[in-house]
Amino acid sequence: MFAKILIANRGEIACRVIRTARRMGVRTVAVYSDADAGALHVEMADEAVHIGPSPVGESYLRGDKIVAAALATGAEAIHPGYGFLSENPDFVDQVTAAGLVFIGASAASIRAMGLKDAAKRLMEKAGVPVVPGYHGEAQEIVLLASKAREIGYPVLIKARAGGGGKGMRRVEHPDDFSEALSGARREAKAAFGDDRVLVEKYVDKPRHIEVQVFGDSFGNVVHLYERDCSAQRRHQKVIEEAPAPGMTPALRKAMTEAAVKAAKAIDYSGAGTIEFIVDASQGLKADRFWFMEMNTRLQVEHPVTEMVTGTDLVEWQLRVASGEKLPKAQSEIALSGHAFEARIYAEDAAKGFLPATGTLHHLKFPDTVPEGASMRIETGVRTGDAISPFYDPMIAKLVVQGKNRQAALEALGISLSQTEIAGSTVNTAFLAALAADADFSAGDVDTGLIGRHQQALTAVPPPSSEIVAAAALAASGAGAQAPTRDPWSSLAGYAHFHAMARRTRLRYGEDDILALVSMRPDGRFQVALDAPYDSALDLRAAPRLARWPGHVTVFSGAVGYSFAVPDPLARADEIAAGADSLRAPMPGLVKLVRAAKGETVIKGQPLLILEAMKMEHTISATHDGTIAEIATEGAQVTDGTVLVRFAEEAHG
């Protein structure tokens, strides 16, 4: 076994690897960028090496710096985690050329499966079923459009490199093919440096079911059953589970045998995942699944497999990479119970899942789960950490297991409702709504479920009068939640002739709220609210809430209602953006400008494309008008930057 390894990654996966390595007595070296100097994975590791500025291209994608750090610290092997360099065969070559061990697949295996088109041709030769489509080398638009017509609409354009939904477009009609192809190519080029695509038949009711495989250098390959990853938004996974709901013995046998066959076809060693698309329009059948791609690394959702098989896949990785045989034979690997993983992101689900940034002023995960269930939290952040625009905005993975799917689903819902995060917009309410969705609860899932139910799943009810009153009580400094140093607390309960009262202002979204907080003789607080609430409530103590600079967040189930608390001594300096301008919803790069200064545009017309976190977001006109100013292509903008300004006469 290795004495010391370097982890060429960051965030929760780096922390995950460190925990297993520590348990095995293996010392760890972390690497970090400027933005991650104070990160949790840096704190947890035995040693840490700075490798460059915050952008990934200058730090976590610099294989030369990572190899140099490993050599300088005496590490014997490098664990790549997932993402970044984990599936880069050139990096594997760098590692091995330096006399180090790469804890993952061989460069040859990665190359064999790295490009979707070549991988599918290889799988066809190996007898693994592949989805109908065009996987050739030619990339002329006329040819691709012709192949799309032959396949039959709807079709799916997919980047042949990478994954995560980037460079992917569903096309319903031939007239939309050209624009969809351009968008997919731009996104693929930005994310993977390769704008080539393939075109496949879009399955009407697709299930995304993948099989965890593991091989060693002695020719042994086993599977650890399947995971269902059908709950996706924008082709990115949201909630994963194991085993797949509704799985039949016949389909499981056919799918796992195909997965092992695929791994053996490339002499695979290490952790890998064979991803299949399953046509669920007529139920799960053994002849209705097709190979999509192979991920030659550990998956984000690997914890659900660990929960239901009782294995530590990171430990297996270390053992196999150090030259040992697989820890278990196929006959020794059994399923037990059901597990879910929910990905908690800093994102605004109600605004099309826009990534968010911010400081995690309050971060609290559940301490307990229902009897008979278990839970684990995979995270790389702590209270006070910032969500950086440079990296994926994942905050944590909440993983639960129960004796069956219903028990696990109940534990998931309860755990999400007890999770408290303040300081950034998060998706916990959306995740809880999805877990409670009737179709999802029944196991009737497919990759289009979230899209069909998106409005209902992302809708957040306005705060009740009780929630607003609780926020006002906390903002006033009164009540059990108030800091003892607050002078208002020392006056609580005292008045010569009548109850003392404090006037408090709050802002929720666009609403300004005025509240009058007073203390009653019996120790309760009375909160009187102006319009639109027009109510008076008696409160003895505030519910779950968090106070952070200039704000109060009140938690109700999985929803966190955040109220701004204006400083009464500060001058209200409102800068009206109004309808005269469109501002960047997040930091990003102006990738494409579709309008010009002086041009008259109509409501809904696309004006420019903003690239943020490797995804493209279209900024459209909110009304008819004439453009006075518009951002230039290639401009790097921050959150709130004016992208488009309209001429004043547009509103006259």
Mean pLDDT of the chain: 90
Give percent of the chain above pLDDT 90: 70
Pairing of strands 358-359, 77-79: unpaired
Pairing of strands 362-364, 394-402: unpaired
pLDDT at 173: 94
Spatial distance between the Cα atoms of 456 and 559, rounded to a whole number of angstroms: 14
Q: Does position 447 have pLDDT exceeding 90, yes or no?
A: yes
Q: Does position 339 have pLDDT exceeding 60, yes or no?
A: yes
Q: What would the pLDDT profile of 198-219 be if each residue is shown by its tens digit?
A: 998 888 889 999 999 999 999 9
pLDDT at 570: 45
pLDDT at 224: 98
Structure confidence at residue 614 as a pLDDT band (50, 70, 90): low
Structure confidence at residue 185 as a pLDDT band (50, 70, 90): very high
Could you give the C-alpha distances from 83 to 163, 295, 392, in angstroms and in order? 10, 10, 10
DSSP 577-644: -GGGEEE-SSSEEEEEE---TT-EE-TT-EEEEEEETTEEEEEE-SSSEEEEEEPPTT-EE-TT-EEE
Q: Which of 27-41, 471-485, 530-544, 590-604 has the highest mean pLDDT?
A: 27-41
Query: Both tokens of residue 407?
Result: 């028990």
Q: CB neighbours (10 Å) of residue 78?
A: 31
Lowest mean pLDDT among 221-225, 365-369, 474-478, 505-509: 474-478
Q: Which residues pair with 561 in a beta bridge?
A: 554
Helix (H, G, I), strand (E, B) or coil at 571: coil
pLDDT at 499: 52
Spatial distance between the Cα atoms of 422 and 555, rounded to a whole number of angstroms: 9
In three-state form (DSSP H/G/I as H, E/B as E, the rest C), the secondary structure along 158-184 is EECCCCCCCCEEEECCHHHHHHHHHHH
Q: Does position 486 have pLDDT exceeding 60, yes or no?
A: no
Q: Does position 649 have pLDDT exceeding 70, yes or no?
A: no
HSE, side-chain direction, 13 A CA sphere, residue 627: 25
Spatial distance between the Cα atoms of 649 and 188, rounded to a whole number of angstroms: 40
Q: Which residue has the tokens 């079923």?
A: 129
Average pLDDT of the segment spanning 547-551: 92
Q: Which residues are catalytic?
A: 297
Average pLDDT of the segment spanning 142-159: 93
Average pLDDT of the segment spanning 40-61: 97
pLDDT at 532: 73
Q: What would the pLDDT profile of 114-123 be if each residue is shown by its tens digit?
A: 877 788 888 9
Q: What would the pLDDT profile of 257-281 be if each residue is shown by its tens digit?
A: 999 999 999 999 999 999 999 999 8
Lowest mean pLDDT among 51-65, 409-423, 535-549: 535-549
DSSP 425-487: --SHHHHHHHHH-HHHHTT---TTHHHHHHHHHH--PPPPHHHHHHHHHHHHT-STTS-TT-H
Structure confidence at residue 155 as a pLDDT band (50, 70, 90): very high
Residues 6+ apart with CB under 8 A from 472: 504, 506, 513, 515, 517, 527, 529
Spatial distance between the Cα atoms of 247 and 260, rounded to a whole number of angstroms: 18
pLDDT at 13: 98
Q: Does position 406 have pLDDT exceeding 90, yes or no?
A: yes
Lowest mean pLDDT among 39-48, 162-171, 327-336, 421-430: 162-171
Q: CB neighbours (10 Å) of residue 651?
A: 11
Spatial distance between the Cα atoms of 322 and 134, rounded to a whole number of angstroms: 40
Spatial distance between the Cα atoms of 450 and 467, rounded to a whole number of angstroms: 28
Structure confidence at residue 442 as a pLDDT band (50, 70, 90): very high
pLDDT at 258: 96
Q: CB neighbours (10 Å) of residue 452?
A: 11
pLDDT at 651: 42
Residues 6+ apart with CB under 8 A from 142: none
Q: Does position 579 have pLDDT exceeding 80, yes or no?
A: no
Q: Which residue has the tokens 């045998």?
A: 257
Q: Does position 71 have pLDDT exceeding 60, yes or no?
A: yes
Q: What would the pLDDT profile of 292-305 be if each residue is shown by its tens digit?
A: 899 999 999 999 99
Q: Which residues pair with 626 in a beta bridge?
A: 600
Residues 6+ apart with CB under 8 A from 37: 50
First to last CA, the chain: 74
Structure confidence at residue 618 as a pLDDT band (50, 70, 90): confident
Residue 11 contacts residue 30 (beta carbons within 8 Å): no
Lowest mean pLDDT among 24-38, 54-68, 278-292, 445-459: 278-292
Helix axes 89-97, 107-114, angle to 10 degrees: 170
Average pLDDT of the segment spanning 317-325: 98
pLDDT at 497: 45
Query: Both tokens of residue 459?
Result: 């809708």
Structure confidence at residue 23 as a pLDDT band (50, 70, 90): very high
Q: Which residue has the tokens 């008696």?
A: 538
pLDDT at 652: 41
pLDDT at 132: 82
Could you give the C-alpha distances from 81 to 22, 105, 250, 296, 377, in angstroms and in order? 16, 12, 33, 11, 17
Spatial distance between the Cα atoms of 196 and 131, rounded to a whole number of angstroms: 18
